[in-house]
Amino acid sequence: MEATSSTPKRRGPPRSLREDDLLDAALSLVDEGGPEAASVRGIAARVGVAPNAVYTYFRDRSAVIRALVDRLLGGVDHDVFADRSQPWRARVESLALELRRQLATHPGVVPLVIASPLDGPQALTLHERLLEVFADAGLDDVAAARASYLLVTYMLGSVALDVAGALKPGPLPPEPARVAARHSAFAAASADRFPRASAAAATVAAYVSTEQYLWGLRRLLDGVDPESEDAPSAGAEPNGRIATGHGSTCPRSS
């Protein structure tokens, strides 16, 4: 939770008041009307200036979108994620849940995030910390880079698919409702032509999707974890050491 949603928690270069006003307007427009709604003219109107006044602060519309996306990424809570005294898996899960929570609060932004270069300061800060976590987990540079890329792919892909389809309206209905909607959409599509898909829709509907999200995350971390097995782990002091790449890799099944 943040104090005010318009001031997420920044550490980067100071952004002009006016600039933040424009981004606030853009975000509220996206929240109300989806990704397309953040038009230059709409933003200007909401702030009370002429459309072309926006170009004093941003080169073009895409620059507005990029700034909006990066500012939103600044809203994820690093408390657990950045705490190097915590076990690395807990840190990763914390990031995953925090990022998902933040994006689910603004579903209209998700398509913008996934189409963005993710090279803003906030995105780089997240990436940096994620690499740190995997280094602390004992992965070498290459393994950490790959694991990090894999994780980002998973987190953003999940949220994007979650949000896809029923994206039109405003806030985003509660999770059970979303699951039910998704279920009926798939189940409706001829159970005899697609028997497995229909059945899968039914079974998936039985699981709230946050649980599915964590399940996938854990399967993925199992594949990346250098410790692998159930082994009580023992050592695993952060940063410094082991790194030998992940010895025995075999995972446990579902």
Could you tell me the smallest distance in angstroms from the CB atom of residue 58 to a second copy? 17
Partner whose footprint covers residue 60, from a second copy, DNA, none (CB < 5 to 8 Å by kind): DNA
Residue that is written with structure tokens 């405003």 in the block? 170
DSSP string covering 93-132: HHHHHHHHHHHHHSGGGHHHHHTS---SHHHHHHHHHHHH
Partner whose footprint covers residue 199, from a second copy, DNA, none (CB < 5 to 8 Å by kind): a second copy
Partner whose footprint covers residue 250, from a second copy, DNA, none (CB < 5 to 8 Å by kind): a second copy
Partner whose footprint covers residue 56, from a second copy, DNA, none (CB < 5 to 8 Å by kind): DNA
Partner whose footprint covers residue 61, from a second copy, DNA, none (CB < 5 to 8 Å by kind): DNA
Give the distance, in angstroms, between the CA of residue 131 and the centroid of all CA atoms in the same chain.
16
Could you tell me the smallest distance in angstroms from the CB atom of residue 18 to a second copy? 25
| 39/249 with CB nearer DNA | 39
Partner whose footprint covers residue 224, from a second copy, DNA, none (CB < 5 to 8 Å by kind): a second copy
| 28/158 with CB nearer a second copy | 158
Give the distance, in angstroms, between the CA of residue 227 and the centroid of all CA atoms in the same chain.
26
| 17/234 with CB nearer DNA | 17
Token pair in block for residue 125: 């800060």
| 3/206 with CB nearer a second copy | 206
Could you tell me the smallest distance in angstroms from the CB atom of residue 203 to a second copy? 5
Could you tell me the smallest distance in angstroms from the CB atom of residue 80 to a second copy? 19
Yes or no: say if 21 and 57 are a contact pair by the CB < 8 Å rule: no
| 24/106 with CB nearer a second copy | 106
Could you tell me the smallest distance in angstroms from the CB atom of residue 21 to DNA? 9
| 21/175 with CB nearer DNA | 21
Could you tell me the smallest distance in angstroms from the CB atom of residue 16 to DNA? 6
Quick one: CA torsion of 13, 16, 21, 25, rounded to 10 degrees? -50
**DSSP-based three-state secondary structure for 222:** helix
* Helix residue ranges, H only, the chain: 17-33, 40-47, 61-73, 88-105, 110-114, 121-136, 141-163, 175-188, 195-205, 209-224
Q: Which residues bind DNA (CB under 7 A)?
A: 16, 18, 38-42, 44, 49-53, 55-57, 60-62
CB neighbours (10 Å) of residue 222?
A: 17
Ramachandran bin of 228, using left for φ above 0, alpha for ψ from -120 to 50, beta for the remaining angles: left
- β strands within 197-246, DSSP E: none
